[in-house]
Structure 1
Amino acid sequence: MGNNMELGYEMFCYQCEQTAGGKGCTKLGVCGKTPEIAGLQDLLIFQIKGISCYAKTFIEQEQHVDKSIVTFIENALFTTLTNVNFDADAHVKLLRQSQEIKETLKSSVGEINNPTYHATYKLPNDKNEMLKDAYIAGIMYDSSLDPDIRSLRQTVVYGLKGISAYGHQARELGFYSDEVDDFYITALEAVTDDRLTVEDLIRLTMRTGEMAVEIIKQLDDANTSVYDNPSPHTVNVNIKKGPFIIISGHDLKDLEMLLKQTEGTGINIYTHGEMLPSHGYAGLKKYPHLIGNFGGAWQDQQKEFDNLPGCIIMTTNCLMRPRDSYKDRIYSTNVVGWEGVKHIEKKSDGEKDFSPVIRQALELGGFKEDIEPHNILVGFGHEAVLSNAQSIVDAVKSGHIRHFFLIGGCDGARPGRNYYTEFAKLVPNDCIIMTLACGKYRFNKLDFGEAAGIPRLLDIGQCNDAYSAVRIATALADAFETDINGLPLSLIISWYEQKAVADLLALLSLGFKNIYLGPTLPAFISPNVLQYLTDTFNLRLISNAEDDIKTCLRQAV
């Protein structure tokens, strides 16, 4: 593969928090994304915008778009999310499908109102020719574009990428939202429309937040309907003797299929990363060989997986470049991929065959001895917390609980994230910490004790369980006869990739104010857009843990 200029494409990506120099990756993605992959991903987003220009016609006629097309758009968005897919062949396959879909829609729809180049562009079939065209899809291709327009368009697209991850997981369990499915298409078409003003795009951005709320509600309904509501459960975070498979990501259906197929084999199943909260679901923790959780957050996987005597399955992000020491024993599935990594496909009936993973895990033999168990507590979803709502309200009114801190979000490798560990350690003993997403690995093995008989650390779940946090906040607001901003609650959010963007937009669309965000502000937010968010929602950048805690407690008085 040649350099950027040989590709006819200048790589530029700033969708994640760790983007180079806090401005944008131009030579190689910090995530490991090459210019080749970046070009193919930009072109794939360009193509689904073109598909949406045609598909919007059906929505204007009050018809729903064929679900196979919606699923394709959703999977294309998810494929381009940070740390998901680095396999060029997988992208080329999707791109070829995108052109087939676009041409089929064009034949069906005919002339459209907004025939932008996204709609009229004809994708070549050859990968090298695709890469020569990739420049037209680059974020900075139109150098004359108003920076606030570009900022808001990208914010919407990144919000859609986050929504697509949640939508994919819900759809795997048979749940979806027609409203969200339609919005993928109307929003992707809207970001191609040069007639839309900054004010129009601000409204679209807030609408993206509303759709994020809708999709995390759908996913919560899916998970709790299929696997029951999470309940408090202790999870061993040390290893046990015997063969094993580690399963990482977010997809509970994949975990369930793996648990069923490994029953009676003697293989232990460990969760990893964002799969940790699955131990709280009755429908999953009933399997005795779901033995515990392995390792910490996603960014530690390379050293933690190094020379492991077992297998790993990656169901969603975050995948990092596999080292040679374990590349032969790591598997991907769904839209996840890396060149040379074995992939488990879904069969026509929706099931997957994990037998190659199972055979290899048995051959490898696993860990040779136990390490003394060390347990952490998970499973504090909205049902578990709100079943104790009255005692929580009483404890606050009596002064035994002073404040709640939601410390959650994505983790990452860049320096500065120790802030969240320091913050958790400095939270006063009469305050409760709620946490969700992989940011919790910064402090979830610490002993915080109890306050008023309630564990001071409540693990609400995955990043998509932001809905649980919303449900808890709104229910407590009702109990205290106030609104969500009148609660003794502060939100301390860490962000890394686009699911966090969707979650932030969801919170803003619900009216949450005074959110602390870090470690840095998004590079794709222009100064004027940032000023709007600051003025409207008092969104603020984290400073230092001690001062921020004091400010939160002072504002709550």
Structure 2
Amino acid sequence: MSDMFCFQCQQTAGNKCCVKVGVCGKQPDTANLQDDLIYELIRLSEVVSEKESNTNTDRMVIDGLFITLTNVNFDNSRIKNFTEEVREEIKQLGNLNEIPVIDLWKGETDIVSLRSTLLFGMKGTAAYAHHCKNLGFEDREVTNWFYKGLREINREHSIEEWLSLIMEFGQINLKCMEKLDEANTKSFGTPVPVKVNTDIKKGPFIVISGHDLHDLKMLLEQTQDKGINVYTHGEMLPAHGYPELKKYSHLAGNFGTAWQSQQKEFENIPAPVIFTTNCLMPYRDNYKDRIYNTNVVGYEGLKYIEAKENGYKDFTPVINHALELGGYKQDQSMSGINGGHILTTGFGHGTVLANAPAIIDAVKSGAIKHFFLVGGCDGANPGRNYYTDFVKQTPMDTIVLTLACGKFRFNDLDLGEIGGFPRIMDMGQCNDAYSAIKVALALADAFQCSVYELPLTLVLSWYEQKAVCILLTLLSLGIKRMYLGPTLPAFLSETVVKVLIDTYDLQPITSPEQDLDAILGRG
């Protein structure tokens, strides 16, 4: 019998399954505890199905799913405690009998594949719902669907029924991304284009990583006028485009590149680092004492910032640590993967659609021949240079839209402009796939055609479960001929892959040259 069973991320061992230890660093006992938590969340959903849900059970389901997402929580004691809280809640709801739960990883291959696809997608959506709740926003239909989805995972379905459920869920994730977009823009304003420096100034500083803009806002408020600069890292980069965040002059720039480089980039860093969400990697001893976690993020032995009942967090320990460490003695020149020192972000749907007439005219005149959405998760496995090479080879009369941390493969490149628009437009975090969808639908409406008929191709990279829920949303919208890599998900069986290729013309990536030729009809 295997010590563990985990195939939810792109770098799973041999593109099959991690059975001894996770490639991400997750140990078998942690993997099994996370599975136990999922089983208890299923039981909780079975109980709540007969009763009215409440704020406590909502948080348990959403945060519980989020805890089990890749590179979020490796802390066994916290996972155990959370699981016990779920069990106690089940008892409080009056159900003292054992509720049978299906074995997630056993059964006919295609059924396990489809069950896993729905579960992993729900884990991704839970991350977005978590951020919504942190800002005081909620879509009740989305919250209710978490209960429904967990119950359906515990049921037997035909392949057709599973596919129907997965497509229904894709639309639910769209609603969740739309709600998070509303939460972010109402809380922090509509993003605007901004240039972000990657060089680090001398003196005390704090690095903040992850996706939670609410945490960043609290940190900026508490560090104001204290002589401390704040730098974003990874998926926090798009924060610079929000007016209510960029107004803080000590939001000074972006530190480093994507999540998978943190062990190298954080080496002996003279500053504390706050992880607000994934992607936390196993730490190195030379910076272990500088890492702080919050929200559902956890690693045994690392410091944790608790939230009070009203959501407020006191970052005083982090601030004092930054002052104590003192930062770099001299300004540090740091660059992106391709040597660039300036990153541009802030091209959300608000900015792009405000310029829609000019963009449409550029397409009609032939100045813009094609749009590529090249985005998604980054990762450490070989094959991801594909996305750098692909973008470098896109013709000068094309625009590259991008989002999520996959952009760090190429977002420091200067590819020039078309009609005043930069050829690379960063639309934001992974959840800002909603921006890309909104822009695509608006362009399709303007040209009176389907999204599939637009001069637009999606070239996606995936790593973890938030990419899964976004992919399911795109499929549920009927978007076809997307290119996906660097590998297809190990949890997709041959039959499921065939269905996706036959129904949606899903294309595994090959080489940049071959794929560009196919997309642009060359050769």
Same fold (TM over 0.5): yes
* Aligned counterparts of 1:207 and 1:116: Cα–Cα separation in 2: 26
Cα displacement (A) at 1:301: 0.2
Cα displacement (A) at 1:380: 0.2
Are 1:237 and 2:225 counterparts? no
1:175 is aligned, of 137, 140, 149, to 137
Are 1:37 and 2:30 counterparts? yes
Tell me the residue number matched to 2:176. Answer: 215
Are 1:547 and 2:514 counterparts? yes
* Aligned counterparts of 2:521 and 2:141: Cα–Cα separation in 1: 41
The answer as to whether partners of 1:435 and 1:458 remain within 8 angstroms in 2 is yes
Are 1:367 and 2:328 counterparts? yes
Cα displacement (A) at 1:68: 1.3
Tell me the residue number matched to 2:120. Answer: 158
Please list the CA deviations of residues 8-45 of structure 1 after superposition, one character each: whole Å capped at 9, or x if unmatched. x7301000000000000011000110001001001100
The answer as to whether partners of 1:245 and 1:268 remain within 8 angstroms in 2 is yes
TM-score by length of 1: 0.91
* Aligned counterparts of 1:376 and 1:151: Cα–Cα separation in 2: 39
Are 1:66 and 2:27 counterparts? no
Tell me the residue number matched to 1:13. Answer: 6
The answer as to whether partners of 1:333 and 1:344 remain within 8 angstroms in 2 is yes
Cα displacement (A) at 1:520: 0.4
The answer as to whether partners of 1:417 and 1:519 remain within 8 angstroms in 2 is yes
Tell me the residue number matched to 2:162. Answer: 201
Cα displacement (A) at 1:106: 3.9
* Aligned counterparts of 1:324 and 1:359: Cα–Cα separation in 2: 21
Residue 170 of structure 2 aligns to which amino acid in structure 1? Answer: G
Residue 70 of structure 1 aligns to which amino acid in structure 2? Answer: D
Residue 364 of structure 2 aligns to which amino acid in structure 1? Answer: K
Q: How many residues align?
A: 517
2:360 is aligned, of 388, 393, 399, to 393
Please list the CA deviations of residues 38-63 of structure 1 after superposition, one character each: whole Å capped at 9, or x if unmatched. 010011001101111111223xxxxx
CA RMSD of aligned residues (A): 1.5
Are 1:225 and 2:192 counterparts? no
* Aligned counterparts of 1:41 and 1:371: Cα–Cα separation in 2: 40
* Aligned counterparts of 2:332 and 2:3: Cα–Cα separation in 1: 50
Report SS of the residue matched to 1:261.
helix
* Aligned counterparts of 2:83 and 2:354: Cα–Cα separation in 1: 48
**Which residues of structure 1 form unaligned runs of 5+?**
59-63, 119-135
Residue 185 of structure 2 aligns to which amino acid in structure 1? Answer: T
Are 1:497 and 2:485 counterparts? no
2:88 is aligned, of 100, 118, 127, to 100
Tell me the residue number matched to 2:337. Answer: none
Cα displacement (A) at 1:105: 2.5
Residue 134 of structure 2 aligns to which amino acid in structure 1? Answer: E
Cα displacement (A) at 1:98: 1.3
Residue 355 of structure 1 aligns to which amino acid in structure 2? Answer: T
Are 1:327 and 2:288 counterparts? yes
* Aligned counterparts of 2:31 and 2:343: Cα–Cα separation in 1: 39
* Aligned counterparts of 1:358 and 1:286: Cα–Cα separation in 2: 20
* Aligned counterparts of 1:526 and 1:549: Cα–Cα separation in 2: 27
* Aligned counterparts of 2:177 and 2:160: Cα–Cα separation in 1: 26
- Aligned-residue identity in percent: 53
Cα displacement (A) at 1:375: 2.2
1:448 is aligned, of 387, 399, 415, to 415
* More deviation, 416-425/146-155: 146-155
Tell me the residue number matched to 2:220. Answer: 259
* Aligned counterparts of 1:43 and 1:362: Cα–Cα separation in 2: 41
**Which residues of structure 2 form unaligned runs of 5+?**
335-340
Residue 421 of structure 2 aligns to which amino acid in structure 1? Answer: I
Cα displacement (A) at 1:116: 5.2
Cα displacement (A) at 1:372: 5.8
The answer as to whether partners of 1:167 and 1:176 remain within 8 angstroms in 2 is yes
* Aligned counterparts of 1:366 and 1:331: Cα–Cα separation in 2: 17
The answer as to whether partners of 1:116 and 1:192 remain within 8 angstroms in 2 is no
* Aligned counterparts of 1:469 and 1:348: Cα–Cα separation in 2: 35
